[in-house]
Amino acid sequence: MDFGNPSKFFYGKKLALAFAYLSLSSWEKTTFSYFQDKTKEIIPLERKKENIYKLLNLLNEIKPEGITNINETVKKYASSLRRKGILILISDFLSSDFKEGIIYARYKKLPVYIAHIICEEEISPFYSGNLTLVDSETGEKIDLFLDDDMKIKYQKTLEKFLNEIEYFTMLYNVEYLRSITTIPIEDLILKYLRVGGWIK
Amino acid sequence: MNLKFLNPFFLPLLSLEILIIILYLIKPKRLRLKVPSLLLWERLLKEEPIGRWFKKLPKNLILLLQILTVMFIILFLSKPVLSFEGIAGRPVIFVLDSSASMTAKDISPSRFERAKTEIINFSKKIHNKASLIIVKDKPQLLISSGKNTEIEKVLKDEKPFLGEGNLNYAISYVENLFPKESCDIHIFTDGTEKLDIPKNSQNNYFIHIIGKGGKNLAILDGRVFQKNEEVSQIFLKIGNFSNNSEEIPITVKNDGKNLFRTKIHLQQKEIKTLTFETPILKGKIEASIDMKDDLPEDNIAYFYVPDFSPKILIITMGNPFLEKAVRAIPGAKVEIRRDIVKIDFKNYDFFIFDGLIPYLKIPGKFLFIGAYPGMDPNKIEKVGKVKILSWEDHPILRFVQLYGTQIDNAYVFKDEKLKTIIYSTKGPVGYYLKEENMEGVILSFDLLSTSWIYHDSFPLFIYNLIKYMLSYDPQRQVQENLNFTGFYEDPQDKRVYAINLFSEKESKIEPQIGSQEVISSKEKPKEKSYISLDLSYIFLFLALIAIFFEMLLYMGGRIYT
């Protein structure tokens, strides 16, 4: 998540903060959690608006690291819930499979909202030539020669990937929002989320 | 096996290989780039099957291909040639003697057929380029550097030549056939002709003697002469080429009827000339040896005595000397006309136009006196009174004495078509003309204005002229276009010819080349032969393949290099 300018992680944190604030402002009981391969921390914000600073402090501390496992994390989180609420999941969904977790959450009757964060570099890679690409999470490597032809093929693959997610969310009645980090967070919340019906 | 480089100075360039390896080792490493996830890239590569294939290849395959490409190009430039000793044979030339002696049946079915079989069998064993020459009166190249399979097809229809062969001419022909190549020349002959093989020849000669010698009695020559008005003489030259003395029965026939029979005794290898006198003979005459031997083609001699009775037309205003000279020719049928109107020229063998000259040219044999048809008036010069000084040595003027003969009024014809045969003090006065359908003599003066008609040489000239124009020698030897013995009627002039073998060389069917000579020819040391294989284009091909694979790797290597 620590890629892009601003980084997807930073953008995600801001988005999480905004959602928390909006929720607390509406007198909703709110819980924040962040995960890597498993849930790292859960902060119950209750209905107290002043707890937003607690969240803010936490967000300042956490760093992007480790391997992501959305399925396991979501499953465990969904099964631990005693009361029904909505689940807002903020991720770039590039790390592992996420479908089982979402399906489980839907099985538990949780309304799921997905905020998919992507950065500009992922849409059109700015690098080219003889490259060794290193996975930032796993450390795996791929040697390739990246030229315009390959970039076009990559973009087609990306488009296919995004379409797959869209199709999946439609299939399981999951609210889906995709955002690029270059869109200011204010615009996202005040314009796009409102247009999308996420907030009124 | 020997490997040679025609351009060895390119070989040091192989050291460039080290340079390629060094460049490979010091080339900049690829840029490492951290990405959030390889998920999309892996998906992309899964959709590119070539990428997966190339992933399995060794990482330094490009280096290997580059090294090979440079090596192949350098080897191509240095022109490597691989030589194999003695693997490839030299071109083979088969020379088949097809002269009359090859028809001898001392071996079954005949020497010629046996030679054909041996050549076919021999050709099946070799895989070299093969040429085939058949030797008749001159060599004929039937196959030039062809496949050995063609030989059987070509030889199948070949028949022997019933005349004299000329193997030595064929050898000189073969020597010049492939002057830049050393060939194996296999001569299939019955050995009746001594071979003159060049000592410094680049070719190897192998002589295959077909035939073992046998019994042959032959008429080697013959002639029929007219001794006088009532008696004909027959000369026969008969040879006994068998190893025993023989009592030889001879029969002479005239137009199919037996004329007489006789017997002669000949010792072994004896040749005797016989003379027989018979009543005057005309037409077809055959003299035959009535014995069986190995070469029947020379057992019969054919003669033809043509009936000389020419039909001569004289067109003249009146010349008793000329008429008398023509009538004096034995057997001649003479007709005299005073004009040229309504004459059927097809009915006559010879025409004499004395002063009266036809306007148009007519085909045939003729004597024009005073002028000739188609003459150009601008090319006539009147020279008046002249004396004959000289004449050409021509059969028409044989025994004719013309010197000093006076002509009161002569002309000179300056026509390039005319060939002068009689010269006077002021120029030519007698000409010979031969055109497509016309042949004859032109005299440029009036006969009555000369003293020639009073001399003996005038009727002699007329006799010579008509004999020369109308008679012919009916005796002929076998030629390529007349490959048989017997009588032959020429379809054009309807003349009958007697065709005979008459060759002592061909009738002597016993091989003249001793076995020692044959062995020595076979024992002539063979030159070493090489096949040279130019490998340069193979290396060029390999270089192209290596470049192609390099390109493929590059295309695939956009993903994995």
* Domains in chain B: boundaries: 2-28+38-85+533-557, 92-212+510-525, 217-306+482-507, 311-470
Q: How many residues does chain A have?
A: 200
Mutate to test the interface with A, among B29, B39, B48, B61 (most CBs of A within 10 A): B39
Q: Whose structure tokens read 């959450």?
A: A105
Nearest to B287 by CA among B239, B241, B235, B231: B235
Q: Whose structure tokens read 């020419």?
A: B310
Dist. CA B70–CA B76, nearest whole Å: 10
Q: Evaluate whether B354 touches B447 at the Cβ level (below 8 Å).
A: yes
Pick A143's closest partner by Cβ from B35, B48, B560.
B560
Dist. CA A157–CA B204, nearest whole Å: 78
pLDDT digit of tens for each residue in chain A (200 aa)? Answer: 777 777 888 888 888 888 888 888 888 888 888 877 777 778 787 787 888 888 888 888 888 777 778 888 888 888 887 777 888 888 888 866 888 888 888 888 888 888 888 888 888 888 887 788 888 777 888 877 778 888 888 888 889 989 989 898 899 888 888 888 888 888 888 877 777 777 76
DSSP letter (8 states) at residue B191: S
Please report, as a single letter, which amino acid is at residue B436. Answer: E
- Smallest Cα distance from B4 to chain A, Å: 44
Dist. CA B357–CA A144, nearest whole Å: 109
The 3-state DSSP composition of chain A as helix, strand, coil percent (nearest 5) reads 45, 20, 30
Q: Could B38 and A150 be called an inter-chain contact, meaning their C-beta atoms sit closer than 8 Å? A: no
Looking at residue B4, what is its pLDDT? 80
Q: Could A145 and B47 be called an inter-chain contact, meaning their C-beta atoms sit closer than 8 Å? A: no
Q: Does B87 touch chain A (CB under 8 A)?
A: no
Instruction: Give the number of beta-carbon pairs within 8 Å between A and B.
Output: 87
Dist. CA B238–CA B508, nearest whole Å: 12
Q: Evaluate whether B226 touches B280 at the Cβ level (below 8 Å).
A: yes
Q: What is the ipTM of this complex?
A: 0.84
Mutate to test the interface with A, among B27, B38, B46 (most CBs of A within 10 A): B38
* Rounded mean pLDDT for each run of 10 residues along chain B, 561 residues in total: 81 86 76 81 73 56 85 90 65 89 87 90 82 89 82 87 88 86 86 83 85 85 87 91 89 89 90 90 91 89 89 92 92 90 86 89 91 89 93 92 92 93 94 90 93 92 92 85 88 87 86 61 51 82 90 63 38
Q: Does A2 touch chain B (CB under 8 A)?
A: yes
A159: CB partners within 8 A, 6+ apart: none
Q: Evaluate whether B376 touches B412 at the Cβ level (below 8 Å).
A: no
B259: CB partners within 8 A, 6+ apart: B252, B253, B278, B281, B285
- Left (φ > 0), alpha (ψ -120 to 50) or beta: where does B465 sit? alpha
Dist. CA B441–CA B432, nearest whole Å: 5
Q: Given this chain, do its domains B92-212+510-525 and B217-306+482-507 carry the same CATH topology?
A: no
- Which CATH architecture group holds B311-470? 3-Layer(aba) Sandwich (3.40)
Structure token pair of residue A139: 């450390």
Q: Does B52 touch chain A (CB under 8 A)?
A: no
Dist. CA B529–CA B94, nearest whole Å: 19
Dist. CA A81–CA A66, nearest whole Å: 25
- Smallest Cα distance from A104 to chain B, Å: 23
Query: Which chain A residues touch B44 with a CB distance below 8 Å?
Result: 150, 153-154, 157
What are the residues facing A177 on neighbouring strands? A115
pTM tops 0.80 = no
Q: Could B31 and A135 be called an inter-chain contact, meaning their C-beta atoms sit closer than 8 Å? A: no
For the CA atoms of chain B, what is the radius of gyration?
A: 41
Quickly count: other Cβ atoms within 10 Å of residue B110's Cβ. 19
Looking at residue B443, what is its pLDDT? 95
Dist. CA A58–CA A51, nearest whole Å: 11
Structure token pair of residue B434: 């031969």
Query: Which chain A residues touch B43 with a CB distance below 8 Å?
Result: 157, 160-161
DSSP letter (8 states) at residue B504: H
Nearest to A104 by CA among A128, A76, A145: A76
Does residue B220 sit in helix, strand or coil?
A: strand
A163: CB partners within 8 A, 6+ apart: none
Looking at residue B85, what is its pLDDT? 58
Dist. CA A133–CA A140, nearest whole Å: 8
Query: Which chain B residues touch A136 with a CB distance below 8 Å?
Result: 34-37
Q: Does B557 touch chain A (CB under 8 A)?
A: yes
Looking at residue B431, what is its pLDDT? 95
CA geometry: angle B386, B358, B411, nearest 5 deg: 15
Structure token pair of residue A82: 């005693």
Dist. CA A11–CA A1, nearest whole Å: 9
What fold characterizes domain B217-306+482-507?
A: Immunoglobulin-like (2.60.40)
Looking at residue B442, what is its pLDDT? 95
CATH no. of B92-212+510-525? 3.40.50.410
Query: In chain B, what is the straight-line distance between the N-terminal and C-terminal CA atoms, in Å?
Result: 41
- From residue B294, give the alpha-carbon distance in Å to each of B103, B105, B362: 8, 5, 53
Looking at residue B1, what is its pLDDT? 67
Question: In chain A, positions 126-185, which contact chain B (CB-CB < 8 Å)?
Answer: 127, 129-138, 140, 142-145, 147, 149-150, 153-154, 157-158, 160-161
Dist. CA B3–CA B85, nearest whole Å: 12
Looking at residue B514, what is its pLDDT? 63
Looking at residue B466, what is its pLDDT? 93
Q: Evaluate whether B294 touches B104 at the Cβ level (below 8 Å).
A: yes
Query: In chain A, what is the straight-line distance between the N-terminal and C-terminal CA atoms, in Å?
Result: 29
- Smallest Cα distance from A94 to chain B, Å: 6
CA geometry: angle A163, A168, A170, nearest 5 deg: 95
CA geometry: angle A60, A64, A66, nearest 5 deg: 140
Q: Does B47 touch chain A (CB under 8 A)?
A: yes
- Left (φ > 0), alpha (ψ -120 to 50) or beta: where does B273 sit? beta
